Amino acid sequence: MAVAMREKTYRLYLDYLETAETKRRWNIFNDIPWDEFDLAKTTPATAASVEIFCAEEMYLPDYSINGLALVRDSFGPAWFQAAWAFEESRHGLVFREYLTRSGLRTEAEFAILEAEIVAKVWKLPFATTRQMACYGALQEGATFVAYRAQREQARAAGDTVREAIFHLVGRDEAAHGGFYRSMVELELAEDRAGTVDDLAFVLANFKMPGDGLIADYHARLQATGAGISPRVFMQRVVLPLLTTLGTTRDELRLAQMRLRPAA
Ligand SMILES: [Fe+2]
Ligand SMILES: [Fe+2]
């Protein structure tokens, strides 16, 4: 990485960390109103939704190992990965605590779920730091949108515990998306055409981390109402990202045509 880019990504991480440390830290012990839990405000579908999200968050060791290995020689992105991993570790944990403290799932059921999770390995979906920044911007954005819907649903149901959880976890995802978005902006300033090509490539091959790892991922998300549709993904994740980055669907389409191998 060029010296100027190293300095910019380090500054970006330091800004990220300052906000995280001063405004966004939370913990599962004091910031969730656990004693307000009311089983009557849950349904089998809400429990099943939290379980899928929990499973997806529990691939954290794979996300961390692969993510850090990719950026280990870039100080800012590497330290971001370390901070990111800590923040993400709270997500799977708080979902697990919600399910077990409430009695919605037993420890024995969780033991089975954990065994299913570690039986599969998440692999890096894209090969370069720049492509993974594009992926992170999209993936964190999609996760934020899905969790915001969960928060709204919990609020409507009067489940204050689930509402608090999805508020805090969703706020983390929004911050993660913001960091990756800023990384893509820096990359665009360095090499616009190459970065647009990468974004187009990542978008054309995008799938969520749990897709392919968690059994019946799409069917279960659909059945529980926890998934986001392709239309919502486009309107609430992709288009706002393109606007922030100062690019358009047309520019991406041109890049995708360029990338397509000649017939
Ligand atoms: Fe997360
Ligand atoms: Fe995240």
CA of 49 to the centre of ligand 1 (A): 14
Instruction: Please report, for the domain that includes residue 183, its CATH number.
Output: 1.10.620.20
Higher pLDDT, 241 or 223: 241
Determine the Cα angle at 112 with ends 108 and 116, to 5°: 165
262 has a pLDDT exceeding 70:
no
- Tell me what the pLDDT averaged over the chain comes to: 95
Nearest to 63, CA basis, from 185, 183, 205, 176: 176
* Ligand in closest contact with the CA of 94: 1
Tell me the one-letter amino acid at 24.
R
Residue 237 in domain: yes
Over range 129-136, report the average pLDDT: 98
Rounded distance, CA 248 to CA 240, Å? Answer: 10
DSSP label at 258? H
Amino acid 263: pLDDT: 53
Residue 160 lies in domain: 40-259
- pLDDT tens digits, 12-59: 999 999 999 999 999 999 999 999 999 999 999 999 999 999 999 999
- pLDDT tens digits, 151-206: 999 999 999 999 999 999 999 999 999 999 999 999 999 999 999 999 999 999 99
* Ligand in closest contact with the CA of 89: 1
Residue 22 in domain: no
* Ligand in closest contact with the CA of 177: 2
Rounded distance, CA 62 to CA 60, Å? Answer: 5
DSSP label at 39? G
In this structure, the number of other CB atoms found within 10 A of the CB of residue 216 comes to 10
pTM to 2 decimals? 0.95
Q: Which residues contact 148 (CB under 8 A, 6 or more apart)?
A: 166, 170
Contact in structure between 99 and 53 (CB atoms under 8 Å): no
Nearest to 9, CA basis, from 195, 133, 177, 128: 133
Over range 215-226, report the average pLDDT: 90
Over range 250-261, report the average pLDDT: 86
Helices 3-19 + 160-190 axis angle, to 10: 160
CA of 172 to the centre of ligand 2 (A): 6
Q: Which residues contact 21 (CB under 8 A, 6 or more apart)?
A: none
Over range 144-152, report the average pLDDT: 97
CA of 169 to the centre of ligand 1 (A): 7
CA of 249 to the centre of ligand 1 (A): 27
Residue 34 in domain: no
Q: Which residues contact 185 (CB under 8 A, 6 or more apart)?
A: 244, 245
Tell me the one-letter amino acid at 163.
E
Residue 213 in domain: yes
Residue 141 in domain: yes
Tell me the one-letter amino acid at 64.
S
CA of 25 to the centre of ligand 1 (A): 14
Q: How many domains does the chain have?
A: 1
Residue 233 in domain: yes
Rounded distance, CA 65 to CA 45, Å? Answer: 32
CA of 206 to the centre of ligand 1 (A): 17
Contact in structure between 28 and 93 (CB atoms under 8 Å): yes
In this structure, the number of other CB atoms found within 10 A of the CB of residue 41 comes to 16
CA of 167 to the centre of ligand 2 (A): 13
CA of 250 to the centre of ligand 1 (A): 31
| Band of residue 225 on the pLDDT scale cut at 50, 70, 90 | confident
CA of 262 to the centre of ligand 1 (A): 39
Amino acid 258: pLDDT: 83
Structure tokens at 245: 């980055």
Structure tokens at 207: 């799938």
Amino acid 43: pLDDT: 92
CA of 128 to the centre of ligand 1 (A): 21
Structure tokens at 26: 């939370």
Residue 2 in domain: no
CA of 261 to the centre of ligand 2 (A): 33
Structure tokens at 246: 């100062």
CA of 231 to the centre of ligand 1 (A): 22
Which residues neighbour ligand 2 (ion) by CB within 5 Å?
140, 173, 176
Rounded distance, CA 132 to CA 199, Å? Answer: 9
Amino acid 201: pLDDT: 96
84 has a pLDDT exceeding 90:
yes
* Ligand in closest contact with the CA of 169: 1
Residue 20 in domain: no
| Band of residue 3 on the pLDDT scale cut at 50, 70, 90 | confident
Q: What percent of the chain clears pLDDT 70, i.e. is strictly above it?
A: 99
